[in-house]
Amino acid sequence: MERALRDGGAIESAIAAIETYLDGGGERTPEILLALATLTYEDAATVVLSRLTAASEQALALVDEALERGDGPRDELTSLRETFARSLDHERARERRLRQLLDDPRRARPTELMELAHRILMSGEDDALAAELMQAAAEA
């Protein structure tokens, strides 16, 4: 995990290796869950910001599972859980604020329109609206 965090390009392959291990029936120890939670969150935070909400949710669930197992470093897990929970709260608030821009997209900066369009497009909820927002951003 340390090597993957130092070399950002290795994070995705480390995540894939851990997921393959777990999918193959590997033991879900707190250390494994903690590594997966940290790598998943770090990948989203540094590479794909649009996945930060989902990554924070997944990381939080993994840390909760590790805490339930009870044989991991409780203080570190609790601290990490608080970090992921704060991040999730922050991302949800940001999402709400961006969604409020739909009431009057003229108030938004082009970068906000692009981010909102990307989120809508990635969620699959309304491709036409996403296209309209991208067009508005391009014209701003």
**Tell me: the pLDDT tens digits for 31-52?**
889 889 888 888 877 666 667 7
Residues in the chain with pLDDT values less than 70? 1-9, 46-50
- Tokens matching residue 140: 């701003």
CB-count burial class (<10 Å; 0-12, 13-18, 19+) for 106: exposed
Tell me how far apart the alpha carbons of residues 131 and 139 are, in angstroms, rounded to a whole number.
Answer: 12
Say what the pTM is. Answer: 0.65
What's the whole-number average pLDDT of the chain? Answer: 86
- The domain spans of the chain are 2-91, 104-140
